[in-house]
Each structure stands twice: as structure tokens, then as C-alpha cells.
Amino acid sequence: MKRTAVINGLIVDGKGNPSFRGEVLIEGDRIARVGREGEGPCLAEGADLVIDAGGQVIAPGFIDSHSHSDLEILLKPMLELKIRQGITTEVLGQDGVSMAPLPSRYVDDWRKNIGGLDGDSDDIDWNYRTVENYLDLIGKSGSSSNSAYLVPHGNVRLSVMGFSGKKASPREIAAMCGEVRRAMDSGCIGLSSGLIYIPCAYGDTEELIEMCRVVAEYDGVFVVHQRSEANQIMFSMDEVINIGRESGVRVHFSHFKVCGRNNWHKVEQVLGKLDSARLEGIPVTFDMYPYTAGSTMLSALLPPWAHGGGTNKMLARLQKPSERKKIREALLERNCIWDNFVEFAGFDGIYITHVVTEKNQFAVGKSLAEIGKIGDTDPADVLFDLLVDEKNRVGMIDYYGHDEHLELFCRREEMSVCTDGLLGGKVHPRAYGAFPRVISRYVQNKKVLTLEEAVKRMTGNPARNFHLTGRGVIEEGAFADLVVFDRETFRDIGDYLNPNRFPTGLSLVMVNGEVAYDGESYNPAGQGRVLLRGERI
């Protein structure tokens, strides 16, 4: 069995304990011993490989608790933009719309539906159908990072009801619960939903409670992009917390935020709801990315009813002048009960990040308002034309938030860090730099967190929240997912204009005891694993 020693480092264990100078001995894929400097024999004695950390931080590998690598991981098993920021584990299947399960009759429409979020490609075989088969594909891909999967609510609803927007009958809910049970038996760690995305948005509270009862039987987690992060956020949080109360499931809010200047005054009330839930005994956690702009598929700007019947029907509506007029009027409404990105970000605060056709490449990096000026076109028509031209495969960035809120969220013990990064085109800078940004901005510059607190939010917290046993900590018997970085120089250097830039200050990434990145070169040797619920993962 190979023995590796990482010596001469500042060990931050991922549990929030005080850091200490020490060394780590790895045998195979596990941490065999953790030693303090000056106490006991040097762990490097007899090691096959000795890595000198040079006084830098030795921490557990970072866990991206909200990832959109679902498709890309099959195409590029070594995802440099994740490895280069120290991410060793990704939680896939987010926002209720992902890769599996996927009935054969909906493949074409579904590819268009998720194309703006997870991307699209003809280079994979879309005939896998089940969660089990999809996870097998990841396992055979030679991935350099670990992957866990949430069964997506939208895929489950698609399997039973297609793109129908009607209320589910008791029989249909039972069928959806059966799909969830099969996915949990296949190793999923929980259920996700994106209640602004189709077809998740059609599901009501009763439907979600029943599916979450199944998830709770497996001690899984319900991960949710809630129905509103803007005008209706108070009602939205009540719904999600009630789902936890009634079903017994653990609740995790995705990319926690309050959108729009007109809603910023609600932040303390929002945090109060988390406190009340905890006092009531409802397990509630959340993740966040350290930026005040978000990113998602461009079609999320449309009102929910515009998506009725699926992506092909939505695109057909956008080609009818009468339907365009109705959608434009909806976009210009105020105090919407649905999350209207145009209301809280404006056409001048929504930027295109990814398109597929050569014709529209000029639009990447520009706002809808800027593109409208170039073509002397109404920004709403720019939106509609892009979606039609690109068959819905468009990504965007929207500016919604406030720095002080991020600091408040960072201080919360239940918080974990995520990228939520879409991976195509001119990406949001979080896809390259979310984790180093927490260290550079909130530890080194703003002093919002200690180094130990920050590392815990990037490792131990997500491992706890998602029950990734043996991950996210440095202790004997844990899996040897490790990173080494210089706390002074580990920082994100990408911005919204030039986002596709690797961070600085990272010296080592180790996955399951094997070096994946040594600060200069990659070792794409398939170190990663699919982490299945119920296993010691």
C-alpha cells in the first residue's frame, strides 16, 4: 500500500478546531495519522512520497455543495476550473433539473430545457434513462473529483407527468414517490427542486411533502432553489420550512440570497425564519457563493406560464407577436408574485454569458440593454430572439445583491460554500474562484471569518449537511482529500469582464490519496469516485 506524507504545514482540520503545525500520513486512500510538529516521530519516515507543504495551509479538499458539472463531467473528467480552486467533491443534480432520470420520449425537449443551465452535447449517449445508469457513466468517465447526486424533482415529474402544468393527482404523486425511492435506492443523497424552473414550478407543497417523506426515510436532504428569492421570499421560506416540518426531511436552501433593492430590508426577517426553524427542531442549512450577482439560464426571465407544455412550446410562443406582447407586459410588471429578474436586476443588469451559434457570439459579455442599443431593438425582443435563435441554450448573469448580506450569511454556522457555476462560455467568475474568494475576501481582507471558520464552511459543514461520511475533515480514518494553499496568495483573480482565470496560491490537490494537481501540472488518473448514499462515502 502506497504511503504518502504531507509535512511542514499548518493543519486546519475542517471541524473548526484551532490550527496547528503538523503533518499527515496517508496510506492508500485514507489518512492514517495526523501528527503535531515536535510531538512523536516524523511521519515522513518510510513514506513512499514526501510532500513538503512549506509552511502553507493543509486543509481538507473543498466540497462544492451546489455544482452544475452534471454534463461536463462526462465530457471532461479533469475539470480544471474546479480542481484549480481546490474542489475535490461536487454535489450534482441541483435545482430539480438535471440529467437523470430521463424518459426516452422527452430527450430532445429536455436537452433544450436544461441546455442553458448544464449545457448540451452530441458527444454523449443520451440513452442512459435511469439514475443508476447515469451514475455508472460518471463512474466510468475517469473523473478526477468525487461526485454525489441529488435526484431532481423536475426529472421525476417529467417521468410521470411530462411537461404538464396541472396539479398532480394522488396516483401521480404516488408514482413520483416511487421514482424518488428508486433513485434513493440507487445511491442518491437527497432530492433537489428548483421552484422557478419548469416543470418543478408546477409542483405544489403537497406534492413536495410526499416526496420528501420518502427522502426522510433514507435520512436524505431536500435541497431547494425556493419559489421566490425576491418579493415573495417570506412566503417562500414558510413553504420550504413547512415541507421540512411535515415530512421530517432535512432542509437545505440553495444559493441563499435576497434579490432586489426593494427586498433588502427583509434580510433580518429571513434569517429570523432560520432561527425559528432551528428552535422548532427542523434541521435547516444553506449554501452561498461569495458574489452579489447570480447566474442561470436566460429563459428563467420568462414568467412561469410562458413555459407551459415544455421548451418547444415556449419557443413557439416566442415566435408569435401576440404572445410576445403578453410576455413583455409581464416582464414590465412590478411587485410580481413570481421571481421577475427584470424587476430586480433590470435589462441593464442582465448579461449574456453563453450562446451556441456563431451568429450571436457578439452578445456574450453584453447586457440585454446594450445588445438592444446595438441593434436598435427593444431589450425584451433581444431576450426573445436570443432564446429562439439558440433554442433556449443561453446563459446569463444578473446583478441582485448587497455585500453586507454576504457577510451576514458567512457568519452563520449552518452556511456552506458553493460555486453554482454554469460552465459554458464567458462564465460567472464563481465557476473559477468561489472558494479562494472566501479565503482572500472574508478571511484575509475583511476579517469576517477566521481561517478555521472559513475552511469548516468549505469542508466540514457541507460534509455534515449532505452526510458525506469520512469527507471534509482531517482526522485518522478519513478519506485523503486534501489541499495545500498559501493563505496570503490564495485568491480569485477573475472578474465579470475576464472570469475564465485560474486563482493563485494553490499548491496541491489530492483526491482519495492521489495527487490530482501539484501546483504546476495535472494528473488526470481517475482519482474521483461516485459517492453513494448508504456507503462510507
Residue 39 has a pLDDT of 85
Residue 118 has a pLDDT of 93
Residue 90 has a pLDDT of 98
Whether 437 and 492 have beta carbons less than 8 Å apart is answered as yes
Whether 103 and 159 have beta carbons less than 8 Å apart is answered as yes
Whether 385 and 370 have beta carbons less than 8 Å apart is answered as no
Describe the chain by its helix, strand, coil percentages, rounded to 5: 40, 20, 40
The full DSSP string for 408-447 is HHHT-TTEEE------SSS--THHHHHHHHIIIIIIIIS-
Phi-psi region of 512 (alpha: psi -120 to 50; beta: other; left: phi over 0): left
Residue 425 has a pLDDT of 80
Span 62-292+401-468 CATH architecture: Alpha-Beta Barrel (3.20)
Helix pair angle (379-389, 321-331), 10° resolution:
120
Cell numbers for 528, please give them.
474521483
Handedness of CA 107, 112, 116, 119 (dihedral sign): positive
Distances (CA, A) of 163 to 114, 302, 390, 482: 13, 16, 21, 43
Q: What is the pTM of this model?
A: 0.93
- The DSSP letter of residue 377 is -
CA 172 – CA 505 distance, rounded (Å): 52
CA 485 – CA 381 distance, rounded (Å): 47
CA 395 – CA 202 distance, rounded (Å): 23
Tens of pLDDT, residue by residue over 391-438, are: 999 999 999 989 999 999 999 999 999 999 999 888 899 999 999 999
Handedness of CA 487, 463, 449, 285 (dihedral sign): positive
* CA-wise closest residue to 134 among 176, 182, 66: 182
- Give strand ranges (E) for 456-528: 482-485, 506-511, 514-517
φ, ψ at 385 (rounded to 5°):
-65, -40
Instruction: Give the three-class secondary structure for 254.
Output: coil
Q: Is 521 exposed, middle or buried (0-12, 13-18, 19+ CB in 10 A)?
A: exposed
* Structural domain spans, the chain: 62-292+401-468, 296-398
Handedness of CA 423, 429, 432, 433 (dihedral sign): negative
Distances (CA, A) of 289 to 64, 171, 255: 10, 39, 6
Q: What is the pLDDT along the chain (537 residues), one digit of tens a residue?
A: 899 999 999 999 999 999 999 999 999 999 999 999 988 778 888 899 999 999 999 999 999 999 999 999 999 989 999 999 999 999 999 999 999 999 999 999 999 999 989 999 999 999 999 999 999 999 999 999 999 999 999 999 999 999 999 999 999 999 999 999 999 999 999 999 999 999 999 999 999 999 999 999 999 999 999 999 999 999 999 999 999 999 999 999 999 999 998 999 999 999 999 999 999 999 999 999 999 999 999 999 999 999 999 999 999 999 999 999 999 999 999 989 999 999 989 999 999 999 999 999 999 999 999 999 999 999 999 999 999 999 999 999 999 989 999 999 999 999 999 999 999 888 899 999 999 999 999 999 999 999 999 999 999 999 999 999 999 999 999 999 999 999 999 999 999 889 999 999 999 999 999 999 999 999 998 999 999 997 754
Instruction: Give the three-class secondary structure for 112.
Output: helix
